[in-house]
Amino acid sequence: MSKSFYFAGWLIDGSGSPARKDILIEVENGVISSLERANLVDVENRGLDIEAYPDSTILPGLVDSHVHLSMSGKIDRQLRSTQLQNSFEQNRPLISERIKKSLDFGIMALRDAGDACGHVLRYMKLYGSLNVHVKCAGHGWRASGRYGKLIGRVPENGLSLAESIKAYSNGADHIKIINSGINSLNEFGLETPPQFSCDELKAAFESARAIGCKIMVHANGRLPVQFAIEAGCDSIEHGFFMGSDNLKRMADRQIFWVPTAFTMKAFSVNNPGSPQSQVADRILDAQLEQMRMAKDLGVHVAPGTDAGGFGVRHGEALSKELKLMTTTGFSIEEAIGCATAGGAGLLGLDQELGALRRGMPANFLLVGGPPFDLPDSLEKIKRVFIRGKKII
């Protein structure tokens, strides 16, 4: 039997509860066998072979619930346009690099929200991913003539959306449906009509569940979000301008929200002084207000970054998304809980990730300093452990 011991000055367990001080973690064969309050001197006097980090904080591995591994997050528009034309062989090393970079920032699970060519799903089928769980949508689905060409395709050959999902899911882990446009950076608050009717979405969701897939829906504005909720989706992606009534519906039905608020901050920072950046700032403020309402209503929030979007870099963006959360009333422990237990629950990984407690795999990361240094300290991870083994 393999045993190892780790002592940390603070521990955040993923439940949202306040951080605990001076914790000894015992790991047997890669699984946490005990967590107890301890005095470091007493522990050392017991003669245990221990890794001690008295000035650091341990927390569960993180989950980024919305990324695009096929895109880079760079701001060079010509480069961004070119990368969308990459072949699979061109994208293959880039996907690998982005997964590795995510782990460098303590992210142990990613939910890829689709690409037009299905490169990420193909990559995972061929190569898999060591130490990082990657859940893939493959292609997203959109209506003909509507937004989403970069990340999805339209039903073809006379098939309905539901029939297309059944015929062309290609082993995807979840189904991505696009049910609105994107935020207008020229007209604040502009809402687009739904891409699919409520009945079309209900039939599509039934097809998805018949093949064992959850459903993530890109939706902004009141009606596109309402249709997705009433049809029974598992998560709303983005949800800008969806309004308080939809947030109440999500709370009642325990539907996850992935706000991707940092996308607007990234655009504004990288386009200083432009009229569009001023609109982006207003959109961000409106989204943060919705996040305050979501917390008060008890909506399940799973942070996602939209990494790969303009100025949204893989790995590093998650700490920035969490920082925005803490401005809306979430404590740092609650924000971390959303990015650990929340994300693991949404991705169906709650038996592997999301919590530090007895019986869970010893998947955790270590950052310097006390909890109040978070989330900034996530930008410089000290250690990453997978099933008790030091990976970084």
d(CA 149, CA 311): 20
The structure tokens 């010893």 sit at 362
d(CA 37, CA 52): 14
Judge contact between 186 and 230, C-beta under 8 A. Answer: no
Instruction: Check residue 41 and give its pLDDT.
Output: 83
The tokens for 385 are 């452990």
Bridge partners, 368 (sequence order): 56
Give the single-character DSSP code of 176: E
Q: Among candidates 194, 193, 217, 223, which has minimal Cα distance to 204? A: 217
The per-residue pLDDT for range 20-41, each reduced to its tens digit, is 999 999 999 999 999 999 988 8
d(CA 285, CA 187): 15
Q: What is the DSSP string of 206-240?
A: HHHHHTT-EEEEEE-SHHHHHHHHHHT-SEEEE-T
d(CA 164, CA 188): 34
d(CA 309, CA 95): 14
Instruction: Check residue 203 and give its pLDDT.
Output: 98
Bridge partners, 235 (sequence order): 216, 256
Q: Among candidates 121, 101, 64, 125, which has minimal Cα distance to 353? A: 64
pLDDT band at 305 (very low <50, low <70, confident <90, very high): very high
Instruction: Check residue 110 and give its pLDDT.
Output: 98
Q: What percent of the chain has pLDDT over 70?
A: 100
d(CA 227, CA 73): 30
**What is the distance in angstroms between the CA of the first residue and the CA of the last residue of the chain?**
24
The per-residue pLDDT for range 320-349, each reduced to its tens digit, is 999 999 999 999 999 999 999 999 999 999
d(CA 66, CA 235): 11
d(CA 153, CA 137): 12
Judge contact between 260 and 238, C-beta under 8 A. Answer: yes
Q: Helices 88-104 and 119-127 meet at what angle, rounded to 10?
A: 70
Q: Please check the confidence at residue 49 and state whether its pLDDT lies above 90.
A: no
CA 19 to the chain's CA centroid: 22
d(CA 217, CA 201): 10
Domains along the chain with CATH numbers: 3-60+355-390 (2.30.40.10), 62-347 (3.20.20.140)
The per-residue pLDDT for range 154-210, each reduced to its tens digit, is 998 899 999 999 999 999 999 999 999 999 999 999 999 999 999 999 999 999 999
Give the list of residues 6+ apart from residue 281 with CB closer than 8 angstroms, or none.
Answer: 264, 268
pLDDT band at 143 (very low <50, low <70, confident <90, very high): very high
3-class state of residue 81 by DSSP: helix
Bridge partners, 63 (sequence order): 109
Q: Please check the confidence at residue 106 and state whether its pLDDT lies above 70.
A: yes
The tokens for 372 are 């109040």
The structure tokens 């015992």 sit at 26
The torsion angles phi and psi of 60, rounded to 5 degrees, stand at: -65, 160
Whether the model pTM is above 0.85: yes
d(CA 294, CA 64): 19
Give the list of residues 6+ apart from residue 339 with CB closer than 8 angstroms, or none.
Answer: 62, 63, 64, 302, 303, 318, 322
